[in-house]
Structure 1
Amino acid sequence: MKTPIKALLLDFGSVISKSLFERQNIIEEKLQLPKGVLTWKGPFDPSSDPLWMSMQRDEITERDYWGTRAQEIGALIGKKNWSMLDLLKSMGEKTDYSEILRPQALQVIDIVKKSGGKVGILSNEIELFTGKEFVDNLPFLKDLDSFYDATHNAILKPNPKAYEIALNTLQLHANEVLFVDDQLRNIVGAMKSGLKTLHFDITQPDACYQYVLHVLGINSLIATNN
């Protein structure tokens, strides 16, 4: 007999939040950079982004990739040793979550909760990249049944312990949880830990989130992101 999925466990960066690849025009506008100066495209054009491909081969970490990009952007405006936190804070004093969060993600979190399911986040670096104030004011935070951010410890995905912590908080078995992440290494780690998985394609967020609802057995449609 097939075990029903009782919870949705989501990565944050690029899954719930829009990736910086999708927000390059906003970065250029807010930092008053020439339009089109940011040319790295990651999964939207992998062959043109050797650093991204290096990350996909596990030669560098995701933190390394984004740390390098933040330093490059900082250098363009005369700032040395910029971090992702520096970059994201520089884009505006007031956080506009509607610019940052995927509407599909917010819809699906709401649908799953109203359908009686559980929802959790399993992230390696939300606060590291965005800051504590950003995390504390996430509009869906109160709806979560589990929240694990590895910013303050060394237990990062795909370490099996990270998935174990999330499962313990959800109080569910691995085969009762659908885990969604945009990085294949984290998907492989989750599979090894027994979770159901979806490798999120950030170039097709509508289709991915509709598939999430299908896997969870929820007969609802999300509004497409026009």
Structure 2
Amino acid sequence: MADRALLLDLGGTVFLSGVELLGSLGAAHPAAAAVAARRGPLGTEPDPLWDTMIAEEITERDYWRRRSEEVGAALGRPGWPLQEFMHLLWGLSDDMVRPSAAAIVADARAAGIAVGALTNDLRAFHGDGAMSSHPLLSQLDVLVDGSDTGVLKPDPRAYAIAVERIGHPAEEIVFVDDMPWNIVPAKAAGMIALELDLSDPSEVFDRARAELGLAPAP
């Protein structure tokens, strides 16, 4: 279905989620183990801050800012900049890209399907770090970063910008994101919006492949 396009969130969708990477933080930095145990739906301890974010009482940026402060305090780094925390967190992984995400990007491009990303925080969270310069980003036809546009999901204008830049009507765009509040406005815009489940992240890419007319992953 080359008349369709693929639009992906980055952090948590293409790249591993911060809550997944927090699972490695406690082992690497035992002083932060108690903080790392509170990591959304994947933690061994309740995470009230995550629940507050899911209830849309705070933003995703607020969540990670608080986590950065907690980890910084545990490691004896008060006032730790958020980007330094993110660089530490993503540095815990040898390959920060989900294999199923890399595969669908490659297969979509081979099939002549436009591939773009709609993300809120690439530059704000990662600056010039490894995620911002990852080779996979060079495979995208379009990269819309709310850090640059100043318009963040779930604002409907963010989706309108992505639609304009990817050059396909909303109803032809298969959009994948890991946050429920980003899925709702994508559907309202007319996109085929699919939510990634952090407990089974590969499953959503199977559904996206079906929507795009791509063969199932091996």
TM-score over 0.5 (shorter chain) = yes
Q: What is aligned with 1:42?
A: 40
Alignment partners' CA distance in 1, 2:191 and 2:115: 14
Secondary structure at the aligned position of 1:111 is classed as helix
> Residue 62 in 1 paired to residue 47 in 2?
no
Aligned residues: 218
Per-residue CA deviation, residues 103-142 of structure 1 (Å, 9 max, x unaligned), is: 1111111011111111100000011111224355211122
Alignment partners' CA distance in 2, 1:202 and 1:143: 24
> Residue 167 in 1 paired to residue 163 in 2?
yes
Q: What is aligned with 1:108?
A: 104
Q: What is aligned with 1:20?
A: 18
Give the letter aligned to residue 70 of structure 1.
Answer: S
Offset, 1:152: 2.9
What are the equivalent positions in structure 2 for 1:124-139 lying under 5 Å apart?
Answer: 124-139=120-135
> Residue 156 in 1 paired to residue 125 in 2?
no
Change (3 A) 1:133 1:38: closer
| Structure 1, unaligned runs of 5 or more | none
Aligned-residue RMSD, C-alpha: 2.4
Give the letter aligned to residue 118 of structure 2.
Answer: L
Range that drifts further, 38-47 or 143-152: 38-47
Give the letter aligned to residue 211 of structure 2.
Answer: V
| Structure 2, unaligned runs of 5 or more | none
> Residue 208 in 1 paired to residue 204 in 2?
yes
Secondary structure at the aligned position of 1:28 is classed as helix
Residues 5, 175 of structure 1: 8 Å contact kept? no
Per-residue CA deviation, residues 80-107 of structure 1 (Å, 9 max, x unaligned), is: 1224311122358xx5874321111111
Residues 181, 199 of structure 1: 8 Å contact kept? yes
Change (3 A) 1:54 1:91: closer
Identity of aligned residues (%): 32
TM-score by length of 1: 0.87
